[in-house]
Amino acid sequence: MKRVIIWLLAAALLWWALRLAPLADVWQVLTSLSPYQIGILLAVNSALLLLFGARWWFILRTQGYRIPFLAIARYRLSAFAVSYFTPGPQFGGEPLQVYYLHKHHNVPTPAALAAVTLDKLLELIANFGFLLFGLGVTLSSGIITTQSVQPLPFAALLLFVPILYLAALWLNRQPVSWAISHLPAWLGDYPKFQRVAAGVQSAERQVSTYCRQQPTAVMAAFGLSAAVWVGLVFEYWLALRFLGLELFWWQLIVIITAARLSLLTPIPAALGVLEAGQVFALGALGFDPAYGLSIGLIIRARDVFFGLLGLWFGGVLSLKLSKS
């Protein structure tokens, strides 16, 4: 029943977006893109695709595991595909990343889990940091007003949870290990639970040690997170400019914030939510809603293409493992 409600909601949002932005108008906007501009957008997206894996590759390298960069990019893309096509706010592919490191490169599972955990922590801090900033810009712009619901405290909570966890690890505290040690004693009778608990505790200790022993590396990884966001903002600005829109910086932030909020919904690939959010955001800024649906469809096409590419990479990697 829950799944039916989710898909009905997605369909309703798509219907609403299409009502405000007829397909004929959207087609006119999209066909204004020249092959040259499409080629540039593809090149920028391909560069961003490589940049997404740079932080994880760097963390592994500073851990002492020299794994080819292109291999990391493929694993990251396969993990993205799993997260993108399954319900939830862009989670789900992380176990696959751990699996690839262990099976393809003999990285011990706790070390692989530590690298993925730290990479995800830094990603969450960067993403929720931008979201908090974007919500502040959106509310200060006056295009929406809210009195009964205050989104800023919620965004701040999303940001400070990973920050506090990272700070605890930096101070040689292991909150997850502590929680595991206080679980009911009868769980220890299950060998599988014991193995998982031991792996998680070992990974958390490694992340804590890494943060304390290599603070410069952690700061450099933060820098890579910032580079990813600079690239994302540039890509968005470029796509809107190619569509014929000239925006102030705060308008660009508002539109990107709407897109990021859509990814927090439990709908797979944020179907309908992304498109409706872009129609609403650009309409609220005084632009033709057709531009909103157009940029939403461009984002959708990009993500679906890379998601399918990630699934293909995942299939190839699985085939290699089955033959070995």
- Write out pLDDT tens, residues 204-232: 999 999 999 999 999 999 999 999 999 99
Confidence of residue 13 (pLDDT cuts 50, 70, 90): confident
Residue 238 confidence (pLDDT): 96
C-beta separation of 275 from 13 below 8 A: yes
Packing angle of the helix pair 289-323, 249-262 (nearest 10 deg): 50
Residue 1 confidence (pLDDT): 67
Packing angle of the helix pair 54-63, 109-141 (nearest 10 deg): 140
Q: Is the predicted pLDDT of residue 296 greater than 80, yes or no?
A: yes
Residue 19 confidence (pLDDT): 84
CA 168 to chain CA centroid, nearest Å: 23
Residue type for 77, please? L
Percent of the chain at pLDDT above 70?
91
Confidence of residue 148 (pLDDT cuts 50, 70, 90): very low
What pTM value is reported for the model? Answer: 0.89
Percent of the chain at pLDDT above 90?
53
42: left (phi over 0), alpha (psi -120 to 50) or beta: alpha
H/E stretch holding 111: helix 109-141
- Cα separation, 124 vs 155, whole angstroms: 12
Q: Is the predicted pLDDT of residue 86 greater than 80, yes or no?
A: no
- Cα separation, 74 vs 320, whole angstroms: 14
Confidence of residue 191 (pLDDT cuts 50, 70, 90): confident
Q: Is the predicted pLDDT of residue 147 greater than 70, yes or no?
A: no
Q: Is the predicted pLDDT of residue 275 greater than 80, yes or no?
A: yes
DSSP 171: T
